[in-house]
Amino acid sequence: MDPVSSSVVVARPPAEVFAYLADVANHAEFTDHYLKDFRLTREDSLGLGAGARFRVDAPLNRFSWADVTVVEADAPRRIVQRGRTGKYNRVRLVSTYDLEPSGGSTRVTMTTETETPKLLSDKLMEAIARGWFKRKQGKAVKRLALILEEGRKRGPRATIAAGGPRKPASQFRL
């Protein structure tokens, strides 16, 4: 899919916006209208290697799971996430957040693109979903601005899918 970009001006300094976006657990708050069942892929949700798995709630999408991992975090200017989606996770994707200072505000540009799929079925699914995805991503960046400017959270942060103690052997007494 060709790159889909959406921009918004947030009335916060770049360092504050970067700190919010660098935490992958926060992404569920402003994308929950089209990305569902957000789960972290590791305990630490900050910085390089942090990632999440989620379901893209697109129409006619039978293979909706996707995952992303932060591969570049250049404070306070850029965050790059790489991942996979589609049937058997065979479609590669890249999401980029570019932050530009604009006076006392920050211009946030979110760009998402996928590698051109090889199979006709994947190409058809992308063609159908492109307009839908552009609208949803546009709404997501507007929600991001509202969350950061109002200073209040929209809901629970993403968590790790597995529950229980992190050291399972510590509960057993021999």
Instruction: Give the residue extent of every domain in the chain.
Output: 4-165
Instruction: Kindly indicate whether the domain formed by 4-165 is annotated with CATH number 3.30.530.20.
Output: yes
The string of pLDDT tens digits covering residues 95-145 is 999 999 988 899 999 999 987 767 776 677 777 777 888 999 999 999 999
The string of pLDDT tens digits covering residues 149-163 is 987 776 667 777 655
As beta bridge partners, residue 67 has: 53, 84
* CA 123 to centroid of chain Cα atoms: 22
Three-state secondary structure call for residue 55: strand
pLDDT at 119: 72
Phi, psi of 48 (to 5 degrees): -60, 140
Q: What percent of the chain lies above the pLDDT cut of 70?
A: 84
Predicted TM-score (pTM) of this structure: 0.84
Judged on CB neighbours under 10 Å (0-12, 13-18, 19+), 35 is buried
Tally the C-alpha atoms within 13 A of residue 20's C-alpha that lie toward its C-beta.
24
